[in-house]
């Protein structure tokens, strides 16, 4: 990836949107359907969202497909979720490749079925040269595990004489599976739940959080339009102060 320019001004739209695609099960239950149907509709929503994102100036989309905690779901559901990767890549890789989308899968490969690892490696290799849009799918991913892995990589590099201590934020960031992607501007969670659930913990430091009441299978262009609108109305300070606050309340600002 090319070097990243500084963060966008507050009035700009987000360049990197990360999404916790929640509510597939509830969508299915509300229709008396098996959960697998909710996940299958979730894949359609993902395709709609990826296609709509560039229209809003978004350059990178990161989605939570399977967490390290999702292994605790019943085996049939875990198997359904693995099957989604097979069908998504089989049905969409050629189009993603053609449309300039680079696919990257975040998370641990260990523990995944061998054919899934091969599919992921193939999708990454086939699209590695694309630079119009970056689609990152977090799969067998946990934010804490990703930070531990980055720290472990550094320890190993120090022990092998390839790096020196002490560990700093920049070095740790380069060891994360998101290294090289633009800073996360906004994290969206659908279905009305309001928590991060171990998603992008490091990257969330200064991200805006947007919670939407829509269930993921119903998601698409309208949902993204609402995210962009909310984002543009946020005042991103990154720990600093902004001119309007000082102008509106000089006495407080001076204090
Ligand atoms: C949360 O809904 C969603 C998931 C655990 C899986 C998300 C996966 C997709 C949307 C499919 C696309 C993914 C890939 C990798 C192609 P939930 O089951 O927790 O819903 P609930 O909270 O309503 O029960």
HSE, side-chain direction, 13 A CA sphere, residue 95: 9
Determine if ligand 1 sits within 6 Å of the CB of residue 24. yes
CB 137 within 8 A of CB 19: no
Determine if ligand 1 sits within 6 Å of the CB of residue 46. yes
Active site (annotated) includes residue 130 = no
Active site (annotated) includes residue 70 = yes
Whether the CA torsion 174, 8, 191, 87 is positive or negative: it is negative
Q: Where are the domains of the chain?
A: 16-141+183-231
Give burial (CB, 10 Å; 0-12/13-18/19+) of 77. Answer: middle
Nearest CA to ligand 1 atom 16: 85
Phi, psi for residue 3 in degrees, rounded to 5: -60, 145
Return the CATH class of domain 16-141+183-231: alpha beta
Bridge partners (DSSP) of residue 20 are: 189
Determine if ligand 1 sits within 6 Å of the CB of residue 141. no
- Reading the chain (255 residues) residue by residue, the pLDDT tens digits are 444 444 444 458 999 999 999 999 999 999 999 999 999 999 999 999 999 999 999 999 999 999 999 999 999 999 999 999 998 888 899 999 999 999 999 999 999 999 999 999 999 999 999 999 999 999 999 999 999 999 999 999 999 999 997 899 999 999 999 999 999 999 999 999 999 999 999 999 999 999 999 999 999 999 999 999 999 999 887 778 765 544 444 444 333
CB 70 within 8 A of CB 102: no
The one catalytic residue in 12, 70, 218, 226 is 70
Please report the atom of ligand 1 found closest to the CA of residue 67.
5
Nearest CA to ligand 1 atom 5: 66
- Give the pLDDT score at 244: 52
Mutational test site, ligand 1, from 216, 218, 219, 223, max ligand atoms within 8 Å of CB: 216
Determine if ligand 1 sits within 6 Å of the CB of residue 43. yes
- Stated pTM of the model: 0.89
Determine if ligand 1 sits within 6 Å of the CB of residue 70. yes
- Give the pLDDT score at 211: 98
- Give the pLDDT score at 118: 96
């Amino acid at each position: 990836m090319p070097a990243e320019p500084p963060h966008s001004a507050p009035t700009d739209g987000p360049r990197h949107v990360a999404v916790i695609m929640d509510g597939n099960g509830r969508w299915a239950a509300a229709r008396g359907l098996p959960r697998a149907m909710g996940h299958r509709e979730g894949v359609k929503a993902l395709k709609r969202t990826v296609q709509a994102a560039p229209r809003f100036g978004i350059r990178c989309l990161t989605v939570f497909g399977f967490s390290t905690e999702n292994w605790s779901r019943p085996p049939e559901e875990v198997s359904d979720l693995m099957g989604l990767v097979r069908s998504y890549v089989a049905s969409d890789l050629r189009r993603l490749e053609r449309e300039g989308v680079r696919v990257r899968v975040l998370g641990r490969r260990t523990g995944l079925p061998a054919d899934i690892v091969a599919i992921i490696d193939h999708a990454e290799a086939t699209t590695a040269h694309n630079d119009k849009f970056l689609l990152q799918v977090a799969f067998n991913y946990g934010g804490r595990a990703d930070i531990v892995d980055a720290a472990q990589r550094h320890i190993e590099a120090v022990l092998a004489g390839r790096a020196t201590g002490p560990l700093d934020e920049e070095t740790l960031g380069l060891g994360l599976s998101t290294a090289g992607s633009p800073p996360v501007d906004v994290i969206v969670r659908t279905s009305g739940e309001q928590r991060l659930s171990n998603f992008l913990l490091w990257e969330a430091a200064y991200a805006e959080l947007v919670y939407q009441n829509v269930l993921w299978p119903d998601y698409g262009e309208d949902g993204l339009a609402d995210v962009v609108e909310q984002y543009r109305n946020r005042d991103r300070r990154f720990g600093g102060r902004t001119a309007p606050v000082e102008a509106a309340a000089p006495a407080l600002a001076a204090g």
